[in-house]
């Protein structure tokens, strides 16, 4: 909700990565999509968005090095879609098992609360 282009692009990248993973498996080439959540970087400010980087908890900002380390550990385990943060894992788990109608309401509420406001 409210970011359909971003959401659909992300799903495309995940499906594309999974396809590449299967096609390249015989050549021992590893492919991985990393879905990191919030990273402490200049991304949001450069995009003209205002965010609270002091936010803590499972939906808080991660350090770039931590994301890279988790992604590399996942790649060594041949994990194709890496979600290195607890908040992202929770949302993915909820989306996987929650009935679609209920998930739409959950996602709408989450999107409204989590969407950064443009400056």
CATH topology of domain 4-118: Rossmann fold (3.40.50)
Q: Looking up tokens 């498996």, which residue turns up? A: 25
What integer pLDDT is reported at residue 58 of this predicted model?
77
What are the sequence ranges of the domains in the chain?
Answer: 4-118
Q: Which region, left, alpha or beta, applies to residue 114 given φ > 0 means left and ψ of -120 to 50 means alpha?
A: alpha
Q: Assign 3-state DSSP to the chain and report helix, strand, coil percentages, each to 5.
A: 55, 10, 35
> Is it the case that residue 112 has pLDDT exceeding 90?
no
Give 60-94 as a 3 state SS string.
CCECHHHHHHHHHHHHHCCCCEECCCHHHHHHHHH
pLDDT, tens digit (0-9, with 9 covering 90-100), for 61-99 = 889 999 999 999 999 999 999 999 888 888 888 888 889
- CA pseudo-torsion sign 80, 115, 106, 84: positive
**Is the pTM here over 0.85, yes or no?**
no
Q: Is 91 exposed, middle or buried (0-12, 13-18, 19+ CB in 10 A)?
A: buried
């Amino acid at each position: 909700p409210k970011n359909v282009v971003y959401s659909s692009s992300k799903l495309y990248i995940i499906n594309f990565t999974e396809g590449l993973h299967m096609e390249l498996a015989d050549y021992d080439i590893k492919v991985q999509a990393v879905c990191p959540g919030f990273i402490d970087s200049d991304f949001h400010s450069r995009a003209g968005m205002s965010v609270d980087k002091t936010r803590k908890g499972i939906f808080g900002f991660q350090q770039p090095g931590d994301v890279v380390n988790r992604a590399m550990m996942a790649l060594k385990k041949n994990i194709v879609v890496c979600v290195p943060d607890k908040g992202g894992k929770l949302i993915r788990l909820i989306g996987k098992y929650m009935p679609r109608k209920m998930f739409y309401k959950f996602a709408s509420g989450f999107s409204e609360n989590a969407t950064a406001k443009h400056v």
